Structure formats: structure tokens, C-alpha cells
Amino acid sequence: MTGSALTLPMLSRRKALLGLGAAASLGGSSLAVAHAETPKRLVVVILRGALDGMAAVVPYGDKDAARLRAPLLPPEPGRTGGMIDMGGFFGLHPSLAGFGQLYRAGQMLPLHAIAGPARNRSHFDSQDLLEMGTDHKIDSGWLNRVAGLIPASGKSETALGFGPVEPMLLRGRQPVGTYAPPDQPAPPSFLSSVLAMHANDAMTRTALLEGLKERRFTDQALAAAEPDPLKRNGFARLARIAGQLLANPDGPRLAALETGDGWDTHGNQPNLVATALGKLDTGITALKDGLGEAWANTVVMVVTEFGRTARVNGTLGTDHGTGGVAFLLGGAVMGGRVHANWPGLADRNLFENRDLQPTADLRSLAKGVLAAHLGLDDAARAITFPDSDGAPAMTGLLRA
């Protein structure tokens, strides 16, 4: 698990794969990459649709919170159905009981007033840039680029996406696996003929190969697993399976998961957000259960494309905003506190007199995790997040 420099031929190939810009940024330095047998796992959970950060981690100690959004605030800590207190200023939404337990165990760290690179309040643009890890459109996702820096085990690809559709986060030159619960499979002899037909097809060839490789791995890994009790909550079911696959010594080290919708709360927010957060909470608990002892070596990053308006809108909801919240969870996370350079909710402090002002960059968070958790050095992080000098890696996220 110690860092090792890539050999020269690999480096050349990597240069070719990453293109000229990346090759230049490499300079003469060697890339520090985790060894194939790294025990470290990184899971990115995307909440598509934009979670209202101030609904999940409520700044109830800010005197302007009640002025801007009284109808959206859960009861204060200590009251019936009240928030879970986190130090007298922030309260955790009552649906996040599992998150609360991890917070008390020092394994959950909320990061507030944080945002990705986009500022235009478009779901799709913001999701794209969040997943690409850049402030302009490129053709790969940042977790794919991380996968390129960590060798695969040989039995599974380094990175695994969950669900039939591969998220932008995982797209790119590096082969990645995808997993969805199985269906009636076709026989192997037939499959090898299919592969032969696609051997010259740039669009489909690699994906089919990866799909088959992952099926072989997941079939074996899951054959021994317990039957699943979490039928009702699709996300929790998938999260449990993700945990089990990640816990396998030969399994993937990086994973991308999505919760399904329910976050785009333009109206009736208190009910909708409670349901969505409850599903998220159950899912993360299931992921932790699936991981078992590997939880100690896992960091889970929960991210969303932007926060929502500071003021309640006319339909007991919130519209598209800017600054929001992210969560870091895992055995090594230095949690039990809230990471926030809090901008305040006075009108003059709001972004465009409307949204929570972002004071932290999601790329800084991700870079901090890559450094402390996966041991990636400056050059490697520059490949993962190109042109992000303005978003330096956060420190103090994990226990040494």
C-alpha cells in the first residue's frame, strides 16, 4: 500500500492517454499512485436534482434563517421531531438518524456553503461540471481519471458504477465496470461471438468487454452473499451490494452510486426532503453494513450539483441556488464537527441576493480526499482536476 512510481513505459502510455495538457503538467515528476493492493476505498454518491443544503444541515443558529425560511425549518434540537444538534449552530435533519450516529462516533463530516464550479443554476450543466471536475466541458469524469492512477486488481476494474447507465463521473478513457442486478444471461460461447463482431467498433467494444468482466466478478462475489432484506428501497439495496463488492479484497476500489430523484424540491419541500433524506440515510447505513470491516478504510463523499435558494419560494419549496452541503463519511473521517466558513444569511451576504454564498469548492474537498486517502500527489491531482489551482486541496479531513 506504499506509493510507487509508475515505470517509464506506463508513464508514456499515460501521457498518450491523457493528452498533451496532462503530459505537460506532469513535467519530470513521478506520479504517486496507490499500489494495486491498496485497502483504501472511495465511494461517491450523487444526489441528482440538487439537495437543499440548508434543509439537511440547518443553520438554525443564524438569526436570518428563520427570517428567510421559517416554514422549512424542522423543530429545534430537543423538541419532538427536532433536529440532531451539531454544536449549537447547525442541526442535522431528523431524517438523518444514521448520519447522526456516525457524527457522534466522529465518522461523519458535513461541509457547508460548498459548491461545484458552475454558477448558472442549470441542473444539467452543474451536474456535468461537478462530474467532470472542471469549469468547462470536457469528455471525461474525474473519478475515471482517478481510476487511471490506481491499477486494477486484475479480477475487477478499479472503478465500478452502479445502475444500468454509466454516470459522467465515470466516463472517460479508463475502462470501468458497471453493475446492475442480474437478468437472464446469454451463454458464454455466444458472447464470445458477439465480442468478435464488435471487435472493430469503437463505440461498443470496450463497454462490452468491461461489462462481461464485471459480470464474472460480481457473480462470484455475490454468490456467497446473504439474500437481501432491503427490497423496498432500491438505493439501499444497491448500496448494500456496493458495500459487499467493495469489501472484497479483489474488488473495485472506487465506486459511483446514485440515490434516484426526490431532491428537486420546488414545492412541498418539508415532506419531500424528509423522504429523500430518509432513503439516503438508510442507504448509507446499508453501504456501511455491506462494507463491514472495510468501513475503516472507506471514504464516502455525498455530493449534489448545487444548493437551493435561501428564501422559501411561493410554493413551500426552494428554487435552484448555489452554495449547498456535502458529506464525508467513513471510518477514517475526522468528523464530529461541521466544516464551514459560514458566510451568513444576511441579504448582503447572499450570492446575488438569493443563494447561500459558496465559500468552499467541491474540487478542494475531492482533492483533499485524494491526497489524504489515496495518497495522490500534486501532479496526480492536477490530472484529476485540471486548471483547479484556485481550488487547493483541503487538509484535516481524515485522521492521520
Partner 1 sequence: MQETVLHALNRFGLGRLGDEALPGDAPGWLHEQLVASDPGVTAQTPNIRDANEIIVRTDRYNDAKRRDPNSHPENDPAIGPLQMWHQIFERDVFATLRGAVRSATPARERLVMFWTNHFAVSAWATPPNILYAGPYVREAVRPNATGRFVDLLRACLHHPAMINYYSQQDSIGPNSPFGLARHRGINENLAREMLELFTLGLNAGYTQSDVTAVARIITGFSTERQQQTTGFRFRAEMHEPGPQQALGQTFPPGEAGPDALIAFLGTHITTYRHIATKLVQHYINDEAPPGCVGRVTERLRATGGDISAAVLEIALQEEAWVPLTKLRTPIDHTIAIYRALDLDPSTGEPVFRDAIRLGEVMWTPPLVKGWPAAATDWTGGEGLLRRVDLAWRLSGQPNVPEALPLADRTLGGMLSHVSRSRVAVAPTRREALALLLSSPEFMRR
Tell me the sheet residues that pair with 110: 327
Please give the Cα distance from 344 to 393 (Å, whole number): 24
Q: Specify the pairing of strand 177-179 against strand 90-92.
A: unpaired
Give the integer Cα–Cα distance in Å for 371 and 354: 34
Strands 90-92 and 57-58: antiparallel
Between CA 281 and CA 133 the distance in angstroms is 26
d(CA 146, CA 169): 10
Cβ 151 to partner 1, closest distance in Å? 19
Residue 267 binds partner 1 (CB under 8 A): yes
- With CB under 8 A as the contact rule, the residue among 8, 20, 70, 186 that binds partner 1 is 186
Does the protein bind partner 1 through residue 67 (CB under 8 A)? no
Residue of 52, 62, 281, 319 that binds partner 1 (CB under 8 A): 319
Contacting residue, 37, 76, 261, 347, with partner 1 by CB under 8 A: 261
CB 95 within 8 A of CB 281: yes
Cell numbers found for residue 128: 456535468
Q: Which is nearer to partner 1, 96 or 236 (CB)?
A: 236
Indicate the residue type of 217.
F
212 contributes a contact to partner 1 by CB under 8 A: yes
When asked if residue 105 is in the footprint of partner 1 (CB under 8 A), the reply is no
Q: How far is CA 169 from CA 8, 129, 138, 343, 367, in A?
A: 28, 9, 11, 29, 15
- Any contact of residue 190 with partner 1 (CB under 8 A)? yes
**Residues from 162 through 181 that contact partner 1 (CB under 8 A):** 164-166, 171, 177-180
Using only the alpha carbons of the chain, give its radius of gyration: 21
Got the DSSP string for 252-307?
-SEEEEE--S----SSSHHHHHHHHHHHHHHHHHHHHHHHGGGGGGEEEEEEES--
Q: Give the range of 15-23, 28-36, 210-218, 362-370 binding partner 1 by CB under 8 A.
A: 210-218
Q: Which residues contact 139 (CB under 8 A, 6 or more apart)?
A: 171, 172
The answer to whether residues 90 and 60 touch, using CB atoms and an 8 Å cutoff, is yes
Position 314 contacts partner 1 (CB under 8 A): yes
Q: How far apart are CA 209 and CA 201, in angstroms?
A: 12
Residue with cell 506509493: 3
Footprint of partner 1 on 215-244 (CB under 8 A): 215
**Closest to partner 1 by CB, 145 or 373:** 145
337 scored as a contact of partner 1 (CB under 8 A): no
Is 155 near partner 1 (CB under 8 A)?
Answer: no
Per CB under 8 A, 124 contacts partner 1: yes
Could you say whether residue 69 binds partner 1 (CB under 8 A)?
no
C-alpha span between 208 and 181 (Å, rounded): 17
Is the Cβ of residue 4 or residue 122 nearer to partner 1 in the bound state?
122
Residue 210 touching partner 1 (CB under 8 A): yes
Nearer to partner 1, 339 or 355 (CB): 355
Binding mask 345-374 for partner 1 (x = CB under 8 A): -------x-x--------------------
Residue 76 in contact with partner 1, rule: CB under 8 A: no
* Binding status of residue 125 toward partner 1 by CB under 8 A: yes
Kindly list the residues in this chain that would bind partner 1 in the complex (CB under 8 A). Answer: 48-49, 120-125, 161, 164-166, 171, 177-180, 183-187, 189-191, 193-194, 196-201, 203-204, 207-215, 260-261, 264, 266-268, 313-315, 317, 319-320, 352, 354
